[in-house]
A and B are shown apart, each in its own frame.
Chain A
Amino acid sequence: MLRTAPAIVHASHAMDHPPTGPSAPATTGRTRLDSYVDRYAARTAGMTASEIRALFAVASRPEVVSLAGGMPNISGLPLDVVGGAIADLVANQGPVALQYSSGQGDPTLREQICEVMALEGINAHPDDVVVTVGSQQAVDLVTRIFCDPGDVVICEAPSYVGALGVFKAFQCQVVHAEMDADGLVPDALRQAIAATRAAGKTIKFLYTIPNFHNPAGVTMTAARRAEILDICRSEDVLVLEDNPYGLLGFDSEPMRALRADDAEGVIYLGSFSKTFSPGLRVGWALAPHAVREKLVLAQESATLCPPAFNQMAVSAYLQAHDWKGQIKQLREMYRERRDAMVEALGDFMPAACRWNVPHGGFFVWMTLPPGIDAKAMLPRAVTARVAYVPGTAFFADGFGSGSLRLSFCYPTPERIREGVRRLAGVLEEEMELRATFGAKPPQGEHPLPRSGYDGPGTDLS
């Protein structure tokens, strides 16, 4: 006999309006604590709470050395110059800056964007530029106009967690293609294309980060660029070239973009987030004419227009300041941090670890000794007050548990060294434990994570 018969329907509505005073009768029933649980779109699958993201919440505390975030260090920005430029903007162009603007973006800024891209050999017309809310929104818009559910996007293995999130949200299937020290491996790309087509699936584009890859830290060589473009041309695969870090090389001038050698087959994405301000959220897409038209319409549906004020602020900064000199300073600052990380890794890490030495950007990709699972180790690291991003975040297929991403962009060189020292201790403990319990199944046998969103939030330093 039941004390109270459970309600037949969800009682969430009853729970939404609980009785107030202590004398009210008890309510009863079932609830899922979300009245809309049966109504969400299929694309929300995987948008769940994540144990990994919960651990990142601890990493935001100052006691923890966070080698997990991707937050640029903007402490060297000339705030007086920025402040003056913004004051002038409000005083002189306030009614325009505070108004709606074109869905394609501010014309002056688009001209300046073309000057920025010229540094990488791109000869573009401002008409073919669409300004977006960070280049992240450009990834979203391109996916929105190209991909139906089930369409395939080929990505490097590993790939940028934020782009994987977009592809997942549009229900694309990600097929990974291997990288080596020279970037995306041509044969791996050929195989990925062939296998996908043999399976009867449609490839919509190749998503690649050729410079100072996030998370892998590698840069595609000039020879590889030519080869990858050849493959994509002959196989008729569109290239989405995501290039937020291209101007942040430590040892050399910017490399020639893929887009510089193929105006029709490449959509190029750029950003001011790493070279000026991530907070202003100004990025762009450079696309062939027909694609650009659709991107503008998609942009109008998404936001009406990118923020006029922020675009004009970027434009004013570019006009008022030696931005190339500023980028040079940023490169030197990041090189010092890269050096600190690489030196500390050499000093502290167990011999079985492998990592690359990036020539620009923010990230080192480290491969752990066989059998160590970076995701399983993260709680131990957080206890030791150091954080990183487990490699699984950068794969759509459950791989990557044997690697992790270390970012050197935000902490000072001293903190980086301390963080690496702590991480080495954590790793040694984990190796000892793993040795005790025997080898782990090889990579790839990992079950898919329940949450598809195991990357850190943008507000993690």
Chain B
Amino acid sequence: MNHPVVVLAGGLSHERDVSLRSGRRAAEALRGVGLEVVERDVDGSLLSTLAAEPPSCVLPMLHGENGEDGAIREVLDLLGIPYVGSGPAACRTAFDKPVAKSVVERVGIVTPESVCLPHESFRELGAAQVMDAVLHRLGLPLVVKPARSGSALGCALVSTETELPDAMVGAFAYGPVALIERYIGGTEVAVPVIDDGTGPRDLPAVAIRPDGPIYDYTARYTAGSTEFTVPAALPDDVLAECARVAIAAHQALGLRDLSRSDLIVGDDGSVRFLEVNVAPGFTETSLVPLSVEAAGLDLGEVLASLVRAAMARDARTTT
């Protein structure tokens, strides 16, 4: 590789800070295996820089809107620059939680019962009536989240009816559409899926146990405030089902290279799909690096294999 790998991190999404941390760690990991790496923010000078100094490959470590919604990848496709990760259409589907849920449900994956509503619906139809209907259908407790967001920003656990309006307002501060999901008690599990050209395979499942009631922003990015078990201490058949669901979701959504599915394992051992991340976090407290290490792999080697796969894909499509 004569040209450097460009790690894209930062951007203007609400998750800028997380993205910068992911970018730094991914860049260091790639440098650790001998690759030349340049870290770049996404701003008005990006495209001219990429044109002037074409990278061998781009590794998008952008989280949230403008990062995981496919927009930046659409532009990279336009420019003919190879990049690690899913294409724009798959990102658009995966980043939108309600859409992703409906896609994976079509292949038989179970997701918590939910409703998805834009804020206009509440205004036009009367918030009290709509919330009553939601509560009637889903019961309590509930989890409210923005339809398109990451890092649990804007997410809230709703245990009583009176908490619901504030939770809705909090989610709508991040975007115009909210997902209201039935809360499923159990073990939250994340399963990375990687594909370096030989087909998608799962990495060890990470079980997440935050100190607080919900794996929120503080629990995610304060080292020490969440306990992880990897591989998750679950029965073999349940772990196998987690892996199957993660790979099936990856395939159903048309994802490539790398994804992380977040699942909930009910106390009865049932596995439900919550959401998938097309640009999973690589921070010091993120889940994919934990899983990679637990698999006995080197983070830099894994990323380098994905870079090679992306370049090989590009070579195939351009020749």
Q: Which of A18, A20, A22, A377 contacts B173 (CB 8 A)?
A: A377
Q: Given A50-B218, A433-B169, A28 and B12 touching (CB < 8 A)?
A: no
A313-349 interface with B by 8 A CB criterion:
none
Contact pick for A31, options B204, B216, B227, B231, CB 8 Å: B227
Partner of A3, one of B43, B235, B293, B295: B235
- Give chain B residues whose Cβ lies under 8 Å from the Cβ of A3: 231, 234-236, 239
Q: B213 to chain A: closest CB distance in Å?
A: 11
Instruction: Using known A-B contacts A24-B296, A27-B293, A51-B217, determine if residue A32 contacts B228 with beta carbons closer than 8 Å.
Output: yes
Is A23 in contact with B296, judged by CB distance below 8 angstroms?
Answer: yes
Q: Which of B13-21, B88-96, B99-107, B245-253 sits within the interface?
A: B13-21
Does B293 contact A18, Cβ atoms closer than 8 Å?
A: yes
Complex Cα distance, B153 from A33, in Å, reads: 21
A438 touches B224 (CB 8 A): no
Is A34's CB within 8 Å of the partner chain B?
Answer: yes
* B127/A54 in contact, CB under 8 A: no
The number of chain B residues with a CB under 8 A from chain A is 57
Residues of B within 8 A of A31 (CB): 227-230, 290
The answer to whether A378 has its CB under 8 Å from any CB of chain B is yes
Is B79 part of the contact surface with A, judged by Cβ < 8 Å?
no
* A 1-39 to B, binary, CB cutoff 8 A, 1 in contact else 0: 111111000000001001111111111111111101100
A14 vs B224: C-alpha distance when bound (angstroms): 16
B235 nearest in chain A by CB position: A1
Q: Which residues of A contact B115 (CB under 8 A)?
A: none
Q: When chains A and B are docked, how far (Å) is the Cα of A383 from the Cα of B16?
A: 12
The A interface, classified by DSSP as helix, strand, loop or mixed, is loop
Interface residues of A in 271-306 (CB under 8 A from B): none
**Chain A nearest CB: distance from B145 CB in Å?**
13
- C-alpha gap A55/B227 in the complex (Å): 25
Q: Please, which residues of chain B bring their CB within 8 A of the CB of A43? A: none
Q: A373, B169: Cβ atoms under 8 Å?
A: yes
Q: Determine if A436 and B12 form an interchain contact, defined as CB atoms under 8 angstroms apart.
A: no
Q: Are B296 and A27 in contact (CB under 8 A)?
A: yes
Contact between chains at A30 and B227 (CB < 8 Å):
yes
Which residue of chain B has its CB nearest to the CB of A6? B233
Per the bound structure, the CA–CA distance linking A217 and B141 in Å amounts to 43
**Bound CA span A48–B219, Å:** 8
Q: Are A450 and B218 in contact (CB under 8 A)?
A: yes
Q: How far is the CB of B114 from chain A (nearest CB, A)?
A: 19
Chain A residue at minimum C-beta to C-beta distance from B302 = A22
- With A25-B296, A51-B217 in contact, do A436 and B119 touch (Cβ < 8 Å)? yes
Contacts of A377 in B (CB 8 A): 173
Give Cα distance in the complex from A36 to B223, angstroms. 10
Interchain CB contact under 8 A, B231 and A34 = no
- CB of A193 closer than 8 Å to a CB of B: no
Q: Is A202 an interface residue (CB 8 A)?
A: no
* Residue A379 CB within 8 A of the other chain: yes
Docked-complex contact B127 and A438, CB < 8 angstroms: yes
Interchain CB contact (< 8 A) of B296 among A22, A29, A49: A22
B236's partner among A1, A21, A450 (CB-CB below 8 A) is A1
Distance in angstroms from A461 CB to nearest chain B CB is 16
Given A430-B169, A436-B123, list of 11 further CB < 8 A pairs? A5-B233, A22-B296, A31-B230, A33-B224, A33-B285, A51-B216, A54-B18, A57-B17, A64-B12, A436-B119, A437-B168
16 contacts between A and B (CB under 8 A): A3-B235, A3-B239, A4-B231, A18-B296, A23-B296, A28-B230, A37-B224, A49-B220, A51-B218, A54-B16, A58-B17, A376-B173, A379-B173, A433-B123, A440-B169, A450-B212
The 9 nearest A-B residue pairs measured at CB: A37-B224, A49-B221, A57-B17, A34-B224, A34-B223, A24-B296, A437-B165, A48-B222, A6-B233
The interface of chain A, by Cβ under 8 A from chain B, is 1-6, 15, 18-34, 36-37, 40, 48-51, 53-55, 57-58, 61, 63-64, 373, 376-380, 382-383, 385, 430, 432-434, 436-438, 440, 450-451
